[in-house]
A and B are shown apart, each in its own frame.
Chain A
Amino acid sequence: MGDSTRFSFLSLLRHGAGKVWDRQWRDAHPKASYGVVIVGAGGHGLATAYYLAREHGIRDIAVLDKGWLGGGNTGRNTTIIRSNYLQPESAALYEHALKLWESLSQTLNYNVMYSPRGVLMLAHTHHDVQVFKRHVHANRLQGIDNEWLTPAQAKAFCPPLDVSPDVRYPIQGAALQRRGGVARHDAVAWGYARAASALGVDIIQNCAVTGISRGADGAVTGVETTKGPIETGRVGVVTAGHTSVVMAMAGVRMPLESFPLQALVSEPVKPVLPCVVMSNTVHAYISQSDKGELVIGGGTDVYASYSQAGGLHVTRETLAAICELFPSFRRLKMLRNWGGIVDTTPDRSPIIGLTPVPGLFVNCGWGTGGFKATPGSGHIFAATIARGEPHPIAAPFSLDRFLSGRMINEEAAAAVAH
C-alpha cells in the first residue's frame, strides 16, 4: 500500500530495478461528518491537518480542495524561505517555521529539498542601507541570523554580482541570512499530504466548498460542497486568495484584497547563481532551481483580480529589473510565466486564529510570502483549532488586531513580493 511505503536507500534501490511507485496518499470520498474540516489543500491546509493528527490526536479530518492539492499558490510560488523579518512577532513566527524546515524531510520521510543556500538582499540606496541594517540589528536581538555584508563580501558570496560603482544602481551592501534558501514546493504539498493521509486524514480533491452552515446559536454546523453536505463543528479556512469569498459564506468580511502575483522561469542552464538574490529597489528577485532554471519574480499586479494570469507588462518590468542587476541574463530565453492569487492584508502580516463565528477558524493573508511559513503556520494553526484558543505565536496575528489597532507592520518585507 502506498501509505506504508517508507523511503530509504534500500527502497530506492529496489525501485531503481524497475518497480513502479505506489500512490502516496489516498484519494478519499467525503464521509457524512468529520471532527474537523480544513478548506484548502495547499501547503498550509495540509500541514494543519498533519499536525492536528500527529500532535493533537485528532484524526477525523477532511481536507477539501476545489482543485487538486497543491494547485494554488503552493504550487505556483518561487519558494524563498527566510525568517529575518523586522517585528518581534513576525520574527518569532517565521523563525518557528524555519526551525521546522531544517528537519522537515526527516519528519515527513519525504525529501522537500530544503536548501539553505542563503538569501541575499541587496541595498542600493542610503535608505536601503538603513532599513536593512535595522533589520540586521533587530534580528540579532531576536537571536536570528542576519548579517550585513560590504559590497566586496557580497561579491565573494555571490560571484555573478556586479558591484562596480558605475552601474545605474550600485550595490552599497547587502543583508544575508545564511539559513535562508529554497525548497521544492510540490514536494512540500505532497509530503504533508502523504504523511497526513497515513495518519487517517481524508484528502478530497475537486470538492469546492460552496457554503458554510450554521446553527441557531450562530456556530458552525457543517459545510456545503460540490460533493454534498458535510457535518462538522470545526472548520479551518486556509484558502489564500479565495479567503474573502469563502468567509463571505459565513457572513464575515475580511481585511483582504486579492491580487495576481506572477513568476517566470528561464531555460535551464548550468549553475550560475549560488544563492537567492533579492532587490527591493530595482524590484525583482531571482534564484536558480536544481533543474537549472532561473526562477524570477517581482511585485504584484496593481489591481485586485482573480484572473490568475496577470498583466504581461508587469512581468516585463520584472525582467527589466533582473537584466539591470545581471546584464548577462539578457541572453536567456524565458520558458514559462504564470500567476497566483495572493491575499494581502493592510499591514502585510498574516491572519491566524479565531473568527467572530464559533467553530470557524481562519489562516490567511500570507500574501506574497507565505510559502516560507508553511510548516510553522500549519503547526500553530493546528494547535489553535485543537485548543479553541490561539497558540502563543499565533495570538498577535488574530483578526481582531484590525479593531484594536495592534498592527504588525511588515511592509518593508513585502516591498518586493516574496
Chain B
Amino acid sequence: MLLISCPWCGPRPENEFRYGGQAGLTRPAASADDATWSAYLYLRNNPKGRHQERWRHQPGCGRFFNCERDTVTDRISNTSKIGPR
C-alpha cells in the first residue's frame, strides 16, 4: 500500500485516495478537430518510469492534487497542490 502525502492533510495510506490518471491534460476548445479531441480523451503517455499524475483525497479533504511517481518502483518523489502553471 502506497503512503501518499496529501498536500493539505499530510501522509495517508493509499486506500484513502482515488487515482486520477495522467495530470496536465488540457481540455480542447469545443471547435477543436477530432484528432485533438481523441488525443485529449484517449491517448496517454503511460510511461515506464517517471509519471505526472493526479490523485484525489476522496474521504479526506476531497481535493485533487498532483503527484510524481516512478511507475517501476512506485516511489513517489513529489506531491503538490494544483495551481496555475
Contacts and interface: CB of A to CB of B under 8 A. Distances in A.
A327 B20 CA distance: 35
Interface residues of A, number: 21
Contacts of A307: 71-74
A68 interface: no
Contacts of A253: 39, 43-45
A242 B48 contact: yes
Contacts of B34: 403
Contacts of A244: 44-48
Contact of A255 (B2, B21, B44, B73): B44
Contact of B38 (A256, A304, A311, A403): A403
A402 interface: yes
B31 to A, nearest CB: 17
Interface in A254-287: 254-258
B35 interface: yes
Contacts of A256: 44, 46
Contacts of B69: 303
A254 B38 CA distance: 11
A403 B35 contact: yes
Contacts of B51: 304
Given A244-B47, A257-B21, A305-B74, A313 B15 contact: yes
Interface string A296-317: 0000001111110001110000
A245 interface: yes
Contacts of B38: 402-403
Contacts of A245: 46-48
Closest 8 CB pairs of A and B: A244-B46, A255-B42, A303-B19, A253-B43, A402-B42, A403-B38, A302-B19, A306-B48
27 contacts: A244-B45, A244-B46, A244-B48, A245-B47, A245-B48, A253-B45, A254-B44, A254-B46, A255-B43, A255-B44, A257-B44, A257-B46, A258-B46, A304-B51, A305-B72, A306-B48, A306-B71, A306-B72, A311-B14, A312-B1, A313-B1, A313-B14, A313-B15, A402-B38, A402-B41, A402-B43, A403-B38
